[in-house]
Every structure is written in C-alpha cells, then in structure tokens.
Amino acid sequence: MKTVIHIMQKELKSYFYSPIAYVTLTLFMLVSGFVFFLIFTDISERTAMSGMGMGMGSDPVNVPQLVERYFLGWLSTILLFLIPLITMGVYAEEKKKGTFELLFTSPLTTLQIVFGKYLANLAFCLVLFAGSVLLQAPLFLSGAPDAGPMCVGYLGLILFAAGMISLGNYLSSLTENQIIAAILTFVLALLLWFFNFFSESGTEGVKAILGYLSPLQHLEDFQRGVLDLSHSVYFLSMAFLGLFLTYRTLESLRWRG
Amino acid sequence: MIEVSGLTKYYGDFRAVEDLSFTVNRGEILGFLGPNGAGKTTTMRVLTGYMPPTRGSCRIGGLDIFDDAIPVKRKIGYLPENVPLYPELTVREYLLFVARIKGVPAPEIPAGLDRIIHKCGLESVRDRLIRQLSKGFRQRVGLAQALVHDPEVIVLDEPTIGLDPAQIREVREMIKGLGRDHTIILSTHILPEVSQVCDRVLIINRGRIVAEDTPERLTQAATGQIHAEGLVAGSEDALQRCLQAEPLLAGATCQREEGDRWRLVMPLQDAEVRPRIARALVEAGLDLYEFSLHRATLEDVFLQLITDEEKEKPAAEESAPPDEPAAAASASDEEVSQ
C-alpha cells in the first residue's frame, strides 16, 4: 500500500513539473467557467421572465439547483474530452524513456504500478473538480444549492472519471507515443459521446443499447441528485475493465521483452 | 551467489540466448564480453527479473528470480544500457523515488541518499533537474540509482558508455571498490575494461558461451602466439642469409619498408631467446633500429574466438548441400522404378 502511494506521489510530482498539468487545468477552468457563465445568465433570465408571466404564486424555481444540474451535465462532457490529456503519458512516456526497466526490476508488483498510476490520475481529476466547485461561488452567494444533490452529482462525476481514466490508462499502455495514446482515447471519448447522441433517435432496441453504453446517460440520474446503484455498477465495471486490460498489457509486455 | 542454468530466451522465433549456464561467487566481478547483439543485455534483463526466460532458471542467493521475485529484486541493483531516468525530476527527488520503490526503510533514506550522492560525486548537481545534466552525470545518476539500496548483487550493462576517459577511470575504480563486498556482473565490449576490473570473463557470441576464464588465463591460452617485431637495415642478401642460418628465426617473415629497411615479424616459442636473436641480427651485419615483444591481448583472444565461431557456421552449412542432389537422385530413381 505504501508503495502504491509512493508511485502515486512520484506520478503527481512528474505531472505538476511538466506543462501538461497546467495546460489541462487552464483549459478546464476556461471552458467550464465560460459554460457556467452562459448557463447562469440564461437560467436567471428565463426564470425572471417566467416569473413575470405567471405571477409570483406559481411553482417557485430553485435557480441555483437548476444551474447546478445543467453545469454538472456540461462538466461531464468537458471531462470526456480532457481525460485523454490526463492519461496519455501515463505508460507511453514510461515506455519511451525506458523507465519500465527500473519499475519492473524493482521489488514492485504489476498491480502496485497499475494502481499507483491510476490513483495519481484520479487525484488530478479531483483537483479539477475542486476548481469547478470554486467556479460555482456565485450560486452560494445567491442562495445555496442543496448540498445533497450536489454531492451526488460530484460522486457521479468521480465515478465517471474513474471509468474513463482506467480506459485511458489502458490505451496509453498500448503505445510508446503519447500523441497516439491521446488520439486513441479521444476517439473512444467521441464514440461514447456519439452513443449518447444517437440514443435519442433510432428504434427502441438500438436506443436501449446505445443508451446503456453511453456514460453520459448514466450520469443523468446523478445530476438530478438520484443515487442509483445500477449506474454506479456501470462505471465501476468500466474502471475494472480498464485496469484489468492495463494489467494484462503490462504483463505481456514483460513476456515479449 | 548467482546461479544460472540452461538459460534460453527467444523473442518470437529469434533466439537471443541459448542454454547459458554459469555461476558467480560472492564478492566476484564477472565480465560479460561479446559483440553487439550477442545476448548480453537479454541475459542481464532475465537476471534482474525484467523478463522471464523461455527456458532455464536463475537463482540469486538461493532464491529463484521468478518464484521469489520481490525478495530477490531487493537484493539487485541494475543499471540498464539506457539509463532509466525521469528528466523532469531533480537528482535528489529521483534517487528518493528509487530508494522508496526499492523498499529502503523510510528512516534510513536521508542518510542513504547523502551517502550515495557523495559516493557517485553528485553533490554539485543534487538539486538540478536531470534533464539539464550532461551525459557523464546522467550515467553517474544511473549508477547511484543502482546502488541506492545497497544491494548484494549489482548488474551493470555497459557502465562506462558515453563517459570521457577520466570518468571512465573513476567509474572503473568505483566498480573495483564495490567488488570487495558486492557481487558484480558487468557487460562491456571494451576489452581493457575487462582485464582491469574483472576477476573472471565470460565471452558470449550469438547467445552462447564461447569461453569462460580469468582474463590472465584467457590471454595465456593464446600466448603460444607471442612474437617479436623488429626494424632492421641492411642488404637483402645479408638478411636472407641470416634468416636461413639462424634456427631461431625459422618462420620469420620480412617486408621491405622505405630504402633498405626491413620490417621483421618473428614468431617465438619462448620470450627468453630475444637477446640471442638480436645478437644474430647484428652479427649478420644488419643495423637494428627497433625490437619489441608482442603478446596476444585479450582483444586477440576475443577476435579469434568470435571469428572461429563465424567460420564454423558457414562450414556446417556448406556440408549440407551435397546431400540434396543425392536425395534428388534417389527420388528420381524411385520414380523410374515405379
């Protein structure tokens, strides 16, 4: 366990010593800040207008709640396309530098390496999420959103990141070129995003299958503040699949030499 | 300390190492010598647990490198040919990481790092990024990395590559110093390195052991080939007469240099006859300009072993074709009889 933490520490250190961490962080803050601004102004205007039209007596709309929900939806899409940047170098760089020879000849198990790196990526995602919470400061000023649904929403995002990162790690372990790893992961992200897109049309059967495969669909309940075990199972099995494939790839790498 | 038996490694169909067996005793420095592609790196990678062998086994301190991978790897320090560095870290951060993953207990780490940084002469660069270091310093960081957990066995793949002559000497001195209480395997294709540093040499070619002995005995085995070389001046007549008259000069060859100077190569049975040869040359009326003794070096032994191998192989292949026409003939005979 200690060894896993040491690998994780080193991984985060390497990450923050290189420009990629700051590029990812800046990109994330800019895009999500912009999206937040659009949602916030849009919803405020609309509720103000409907409030005038229907009179004060009708359903009161919880503005912060609504903004929060839309914002979380957008965050998952932004993340889908930023995760390739986070995971691309994990194994590809190690292969390119020849540092696998150090790791594999050290008293480490392959599992420790896989988990150390995986947890470091996940920790970096938590930094991004913390940044996105800061962006929502205006909501807290104008009447706080419910903490419960917000936590559930973020739990959904963390599970989603856990699944995507593990697949990204696997794709990075396949190549020694981090650009190729990034492109592969990006294509996968695009594919998953399309599943979401096409699950809104087509026949019932196709809809159901594509809808099940799309991570964004599984996130919707989380964003509404509903905690459903079946959605968690989806993300956890995604994470397990990715980690398992990564483990197998590293093992076969050693056998082939 | 290290026992390797029947080690064989294939990459797909390609045979990198075939049936290698040897042992290294505690405190011994074994030199691994061979041309590029002979299987040195492959053997070292198997020994250090980087990859499993196709067949055969490696035991270190009595433990199998694959069945007891974790405890065995604690005992090994390994410097690969391409030094595994993280260029974005500083020297100290890098060594700290290596010490941790090698399982050095946390309280011992600070002192251990200071010791190794001092030993490898890295004080001046300890807080510099590895990316900014020169090749020589990187190599030293690599060496520090292999020693940071004070391993019993040290495996060094071409440790002096890319260093300048002064650094090469330093590293060799360091390795010799380490040999007192560590077991070391060292690969190289620099021959003087082997005779200076190693207690024993293993010459491999095409994945097989061609010779195994101490550097002295390997060179002695070839001392049947000592010869003297001389530069004399005089008439061709005088020279020829002298060569025929003196039995010690049987088998000598001469070659004309500029003017009336001759380069003589004289095979010797015994180095002690040199004064008699010199006197014979002078008494024959020749002027002696140079006279020197040449012993076969490890280099000669090495080249000879390698070329012998190359010769054997085509010879074996050539003996095969004659069978084919015979087989074809008998096949056609059968056709006729049918």
A19 interface with B at CB cutoff 8 Å: no
A52 pLDDT above the threshold of 70: no
Q: How confident is the model at residue B264 (pLDDT cuts 50, 70, 90)?
A: confident
Q: Does A105 touch chain B (CB under 8 A)?
A: yes
Structure-model confidence comparison of residues B222 and B308, the more confident one: B308
Quick check: B119 pLDDT over 70?
A: yes
Say what percent of chain A tops pLDDT 70. Answer: 93
- What is the predicted pLDDT for the residue at B311? 67
Q: Which amino acid is at B327?
A: A
Which of B225 and B50 is assigned the larger pLDDT?
B50
Q: What is the pLDDT of residue B227?
A: 79
pTM greater than 0.90: no
B286/A243 Cα distance (integer angstroms): 84
pLDDT at A74 over 80: yes
Which tokens go with B222?
């070839």
Burial class of B225 by CB neighbour count within 10 A (0 to 12, 13 to 18, 19+)? middle
Pairs of CB atoms within 8 A across A/B: 77
Question: A228: pLDDT confidence band, cut at 50, 70 and 90?
Answer: confident
Check residues A76 and A245 and name the one with the higher pLDDT: A245
Average pLDDT of the segment spanning A205-226: 82
Mean pLDDT, residues A75-86 taken together:
90
Q: What is the pLDDT of residues A133-146, one digit of tens each?
A: 888 877 777 666 67
Asked whether A63 and A43 are in contact (CB, 8 A), the reply is yes
What pLDDT was estimated at residue B312?
64
In this structure, are strands B183-188 and B153-157 parallel, antiparallel, or unpaired?
Answer: parallel
B84–A109: do the CB atoms touch at under 8 Å?
no
Percent of chain A with pLDDT over 90: 49
Measure the CA–CA gap between A71 and A136, rounded to whole angstroms.
9
Q: Nearest 5 degrees, angle CA A159-CA A164-CA A178?
A: 145
From A126-130, A215-219, A253-257, B95-99, the region with the lowest mean pLDDT: A253-257
Does residue A254 surpass a pLDDT of 70?
A: yes
The DSSP line for B227-285 is EEEEEEES-HHHHHHHHHH-GGGTT-EEEE-STTEEEEEEE-S-GGGHHHHHHHHHHTT
Residue B329 pLDDT: 40
The pLDDT value recorded for residue A30 is 94
pLDDT of residue B335: 39
Q: Which residues of A touch B49 (CB under 8 A)?
A: 104-105
What would the two tokens of residue A55 be? 């009179």
Mean pLDDT of B90-106: 94
More confident residue, B305 or B89: B89
Domains of chain B plus CATH, in order, are: 2-221 (3.40.50.300), 227-294 (3.30.70.260)
Name the band, by pLDDT with cuts 50, 70 and 90, for residue B223: low
Could you tell me if B227 and B294 are in contact, meaning their C-beta atoms sit under 8 angstroms apart? yes
Q: What is the mean pLDDT of residues A72-94?
A: 90
Min distance B208 CA to chain A CA atoms (Å): 19
Which carries the bigger pLDDT value, residue B48 or residue B248?
A: B48
| pLDDT score of B330 more than 50 | no
At residue B331 the predicted structure's pLDDT band, cuts being 50, 70 and 90, is very low
Question: What are the pLDDT digits (tens) for A111-122?
Answer: 999 999 999 999
Residue A249 Cα, gap to closest chain B Cα (Å): 14
* Cross-chain residue pair A107–B69, CB shorter than 8 Å: yes
Task: Among A13-22, A48-57, B273-282, name the one with the lowest average pLDDT.
Answer: A48-57
**Would you say B180 and B27 are in contact if contact means Cβ atoms under 8 Å apart?**
yes
CB B51 within 8 A of CB A255: yes
Percent of residues, chain B, with pLDDT higher than 70: 88
What token pair was written down for B175?
């390795």
Q: Are residues A72 and A152 in contact, defined by beta-carbon separation less than 8 angstroms?
A: no
3-state secondary structure chain A: CHHHHHHHHHHHHHHHHCHHHHHHHHHHHHHHHHHHHHHHHHHHHHHHHHHHHHCCCCCCCCHHHHHHHHHHHHHHHHHHHHHHHHHCHHHHHHHHHCCHHHHHCCCCCHHHHHHHHHHHHHHHHHHHHHHHHHHCHHHHHCCCCCHHHHHHHHHHHHHHHHHHHHHHHHHHHCCCCHHHHHHHHHHHHHHHHHHHHHCCCCCHHHHHHHHHHCHHHHHHHHHCCCCCHHHHHHHHHHHHHHHHHHHHHHHHHHHHC
Contact B51 A13 (CB under 8 A): no
Please answer whether residues B233 and B290 qualify as being in contact, where contact means their C-beta atoms are separated by less than 8 angstroms: no
B314 pLDDT exceeds 70?
Answer: no
Q: Comparing A210 with A74, which gets the higher pLDDT? A: A74
pLDDT by residue (tens digit) across A160-200?
999 999 999 999 999 999 999 999 999 998 888 888 777 77
Residue listed under structure tokens 């991570």? A215
Q: Is the pLDDT of residue B313 over 70?
A: no
Measured CA to CA, the distance from residue B268 to residue A127 in angstroms comes to 79
Predicted local distance difference test score (pLDDT) of residue A55: 47
Pairing mode of beta strands B153-157, B253-256: unpaired
B224 has pLDDT over 60: no
Q: What is residue B327's predicted lDDT score, i.e. its pLDDT?
A: 40
CA-based nearest residue to B42, from B8, B71, B12 = B8
Chain A nearest CA to B189, separation (Å): 22
Q: Answer with the residue of higher pLDDT: B180 or B98.
A: B98
Match 């390119």 to its residue by tokens.
A96
Chain B positions with Cβ closer than 8 Å to A? 9, 11, 42, 45, 48-52, 69-71, 73-74, 76, 78, 80, 82-89, 93, 97-98, 100-103, 145
The token pair that represents A243 in the structure block: 């980690």
The mean per-residue pLDDT over the stretch B266-293 comes to 84
Smallest Cβ distance to B86: which of A99, A104, A106? A99
Alpha-helical regions (H) of chain B: 40-47, 69-74, 91-101, 109-119, 135-147, 165-178, 191-197, 215-221, 236-245, 274-283, 298-318, 323-337
pLDDT at residue B22 is higher than 80: yes
Lowest mean pLDDT among B72-76, B239-243, B301-305: B301-305
Phi, psi of B271 (to 5 degrees): -70, -20
**Which one-letter amino acid corresponds to residue B2?**
I
Spatial contact of B291 and B252, defined as CB atoms under 8 Å apart: no
Contacts of B84 in chain A (CB under 8 A): 97-102
pLDDT for B322 equals: 42
Which of A101, A109, A110, A178 to mutate to test binding with chain B, by most B CBs within 10 Å of its CB? A101
